[in-house]
Structure 1
Amino acid sequence: MVFTSPSWVPDLPFEIPDSIPIADFMRNDKYRALPLSQSKAPFTCGLTGTTYSWATVLQRVEFLARGLSAHTGWQPNEGVAWDKVVGIFCVNTIDYIPLCYATHRLNGIPSLANMAYSAQELTHQLTSSSIRVLFTCQSLLPVALQAADAAGLPRSNIFLIPQRTDKLPLPSGFKTTDDLLTLGRNTHGLEALRWSKGQARRQPAFLCYSSGTSGLPKAVMISHYNVIANAIQTTTYESVGRKAKGVVTQVMLGLLPMSHIYSLVLICHTSVCRGDNVVILPKFELDTFLGAIQRFKIEQLTVVPPIIVRLLAEREKCRQFDLSSVRLVYCGAAPLGKQTIEELLKIYPSWTLGQGYGMTESAVGISSTGENDVLVMSSGSLLPGVKAKLVDVLGDGREITELEKPGELWIQSPSVVLGYLHNEKANMETFVWDDQGRWLRTGDEVMFVRGERGHEHLVVVDRIKELIKVKGHQVAPAELEAHILAHDAVADCAVIQIPDERSGEVPKAFVVRSAEVKGKSDDEVARMVLKHVEDHKASYKWIKGGIEFVAEIPKSPSGKILRRLLRDREREKRKAEGAKL
Structure 2
Amino acid sequence: MIFHPPHPPSTTSIGEFWSEEQYGRQPVANSRNPFVCGVTGKTYATSEMRERYELLARSLGKCMGWRVNEDTPWDKVRLLTDIVNQQIDYIMSTFAIHRLNGIATPANAAYSSSELEFQLRSSGAKALITCVPLLDTALKAAKAVGIAADRIFIIQTAGSSPEKLSYKTLDELIEEGSSLSPLEAPAWTKGQGERQVAFISFSSGTSGLPKGVMISHRNVIANMMQLRWFESVGRRQKGVETQAALGVLPFSHIYGLIVVALSSIYRGDEVVVLPKFELKGLLDCIQRFKVNQLNLVPPIIIQLLRNQALCRKYDLGSVRYVYTGAAPLGTETHEEVLQAFPGWQIGQGYGMTETATVVLSTGENDILVGAAGSLVPSCVAKIIDTDTGRPIAVADHENGGEEKRGELLLQSPSISLGYLNNERATAEAFVWDEDGRWIRTGDVAVVRRSKAGHQHFAIVDRIKELIKVKGHQVAPAELEAHLLAHPFVDDCTVIPVPDERAGEVPKAFVVKSPVAVAEGRSDEEIMQAICKHVEDHKAHYKWLKGGVAFLDVVPKSPSGKILRRVLRDKEREERRTNGPKL
Sort the TM-score into its range (normalised by shorter chain): over 0.9
Would the aligned equivalents of 2:245 and 2:292 in 1 still touch at CA under 8 Å?
A: yes
Tell me which residue corresponds to 1:3.
none
Residue in structure 1 matching 2:321, options 328, 341, 353: 328
Tell me which residue corresponds to 1:136.
130
Q: Secondary structure at the match of 1:400?
A: coil
Tell me which residue corresponds to 1:474.
473
Tell me which residue corresponds to 1:113.
107
Residue in structure 1 matching 2:339, options 337, 340, 346: 346
| 1:521-560 mapped onto 2 (5 Å cutoff) | 521-560=522-561
C-alpha distance 580-358 of structure 1, shift in aligned 2 (>3 A): closer
- Give the CA deviation at 1:182: 1.6
Would the aligned equivalents of 2:233 and 2:365 in 1 still touch at CA under 8 Å?
A: yes
**In 1: Cα distance, 2:327 partner to 2:155 partner:** 31
Q: Secondary structure at the match of 1:141?
A: helix
The range that moved more, 513-522 or 211-220, is 211-220
Would the aligned equivalents of 1:9 and 1:237 in 2 still touch at CA under 8 Å?
A: no
Would the aligned equivalents of 1:214 and 1:479 in 2 still touch at CA under 8 Å?
A: no
Tell me which residue corresponds to 2:569.
568
Residue in structure 2 matching 1:183, options 176, 181, 185: 176
Residue in structure 1 matching 2:82, options 74, 90, 94: 90
Tell me which residue corresponds to 1:362.
355
- Matching residue's letter, 2:41: G
- Matching residue's letter, 1:117: Y
* Residue 493, structure 1, aligned to residue 495, structure 2: no
**In 1: Cα distance, 2:415 partner to 2:496 partner:** 27
Tell me which residue corresponds to 1:38.
30
**In 2: Cα distance, 1:169 partner to 1:424 partner:** 41
Taking structure 2 as the reference length, the TM-score comes to 0.96
Tell me which residue corresponds to 1:72.
64
* Residue 504, structure 1, aligned to residue 496, structure 2: no
| 1:145-164 mapped onto 2 (5 Å cutoff) | 145-163=139-157
Structure 1, unmatched stretches of 5+, are 1-7
* Residue 402, structure 1, aligned to residue 403, structure 2: no
* Residue 415, structure 1, aligned to residue 414, structure 2: yes
Would the aligned equivalents of 2:216 and 2:416 in 1 still touch at CA under 8 Å?
A: yes
**In 2: Cα distance, 1:580 partner to 1:328 partner:** 36
- Give the CA deviation at 1:240: 0.5
Q: Deviations 1:3-23 (Å, cap 9, x if unpaired)? A: xxxxx1413x22221111111
Would the aligned equivalents of 1:390 and 1:408 in 2 still touch at CA under 8 Å?
A: yes
Would the aligned equivalents of 1:363 and 1:417 in 2 still touch at CA under 8 Å?
A: yes
Would the aligned equivalents of 1:213 and 1:478 in 2 still touch at CA under 8 Å?
A: no
CA RMSD of aligned residues (A): 1.4
Tell me which residue corresponds to 2:41.
49
- Matching residue's letter, 1:398: R
- Give the CA deviation at 1:108: 0.5
- Give the CA deviation at 1:199: 0.5
**In 1: Cα distance, 2:435 partner to 2:205 partner:** 25
- Matching residue's letter, 2:64: T
Would the aligned equivalents of 2:385 and 2:405 in 1 still touch at CA under 8 Å?
A: yes
Would the aligned equivalents of 1:513 and 1:549 in 2 still touch at CA under 8 Å?
A: yes
Q: Deviations 1:8-56 (Å, cap 9, x if unpaired)? A: 1413x22221111111111111112421121111111111101111111
Would the aligned equivalents of 2:359 and 2:379 in 1 still touch at CA under 8 Å?
A: yes
* Residue 206, structure 1, aligned to residue 207, structure 2: no
- Give the CA deviation at 1:420: 0.6
C-alpha distance 502-225 of structure 1, shift in aligned 2 (>3 A): same
**In 1: Cα distance, 2:580 partner to 2:107 partner:** 44
Would the aligned equivalents of 2:113 and 2:138 in 1 still touch at CA under 8 Å?
A: yes
Would the aligned equivalents of 2:82 and 2:250 in 1 still touch at CA under 8 Å?
A: no
Would the aligned equivalents of 1:355 and 1:379 in 2 still touch at CA under 8 Å?
A: yes
- Give the CA deviation at 1:252: 0.3
**In 2: Cα distance, 1:508 partner to 1:578 partner:** 16
| 1:8-47 mapped onto 2 (5 Å cutoff) | 8-11=1-4, 13-47=5-39
* Aligned residues between the structures: 571
Taking structure 1 as the reference length, the TM-score comes to 0.96
**In 1: Cα distance, 2:155 partner to 2:38 partner:** 17
**In 1: Cα distance, 2:170 partner to 2:310 partner:** 37
Q: Secondary structure at the match of 2:218?
A: helix
Would the aligned equivalents of 1:406 and 1:445 in 2 still touch at CA under 8 Å?
A: yes
C-alpha distance 490-580 of structure 1, shift in aligned 2 (>3 A): closer
**In 1: Cα distance, 2:568 partner to 2:126 partner:** 42
Q: Secondary structure at the match of 1:287?
A: helix
Would the aligned equivalents of 2:497 and 2:507 in 1 still touch at CA under 8 Å?
A: yes
C-alpha distance 167-320 of structure 1, shift in aligned 2 (>3 A): farther
Higher relative contact order (CA 8 A, sep 6+): 1
Q: Deviations 1:232-265 (Å, cap 9, x if unpaired)? A: 1111110110011111110000111101111111
- Matching residue's letter, 1:429: E
Q: Secondary structure at the match of 1:399?
A: coil
- Give the CA deviation at 1:580: 12
Q: Deviations 1:523-558 (Å, cap 9, x if unpaired)? A: 000001001111111110000000011111111111
Tell me which residue corresponds to 1:102.
96
**In 2: Cα distance, 1:171 partner to 1:331 partner:** 40
- Give the CA deviation at 1:168: 4.8
**In 2: Cα distance, 1:171 partner to 1:555 partner:** 55
- Give the CA deviation at 1:212: 2.3
Tell me which residue corresponds to 1:298.
291
Would the aligned equivalents of 1:337 and 1:377 in 2 still touch at CA under 8 Å?
A: yes
Q: Secondary structure at the match of 2:22?
A: coil
Would the aligned equivalents of 1:450 and 1:457 in 2 still touch at CA under 8 Å?
A: yes
Would the aligned equivalents of 2:206 and 2:442 in 1 still touch at CA under 8 Å?
A: no
Q: Secondary structure at the match of 1:483?
A: helix
C-alpha distance 266-497 of structure 1, shift in aligned 2 (>3 A): same
Would the aligned equivalents of 2:154 and 2:162 in 1 still touch at CA under 8 Å?
A: no
Would the aligned equivalents of 2:56 and 2:174 in 1 still touch at CA under 8 Å?
A: yes
Q: Deviations 1:394-449 (Å, cap 9, x if unpaired)? A: x2111111232111111110001111100001000011111111111111111111
Q: 4+ residue runs of structure 1 moved beyond 4 angstroms?
A: 167-171
Q: Secondary structure at the match of 1:462?
A: strand
Q: Percent identity?
A: 55
* Residue 63, structure 1, aligned to residue 55, structure 2: yes
Would the aligned equivalents of 2:18 and 2:25 in 1 still touch at CA under 8 Å?
A: no
Q: Deviations 1:64-96 (Å, cap 9, x if unpaired)? A: 011111111111111111000111013121111
**In 2: Cα distance, 1:171 partner to 1:503 partner:** 38
- Give the CA deviation at 1:213: 4.1
- Matching residue's letter, 2:277: F
- Matching residue's letter, 1:175: K
- Matching residue's letter, 1:324: G
Tell me which residue corresponds to 1:249.
242
Tell me which residue corresponds to 2:436.
437
- Give the CA deviation at 1:578: 3.6
Q: Secondary structure at the match of 2:21?
A: coil
**In 1: Cα distance, 2:471 partner to 2:392 partner:** 29
C-alpha distance 502-522 of structure 1, shift in aligned 2 (>3 A): same
Structure 2, unmatched stretches of 5+, are 396-402
Would the aligned equivalents of 2:448 and 2:456 in 1 still touch at CA under 8 Å?
A: yes
Would the aligned equivalents of 1:33 and 1:235 in 2 still touch at CA under 8 Å?
A: no
- Give the CA deviation at 1:460: 0.3
Q: Secondary structure at the match of 1:482?
A: helix
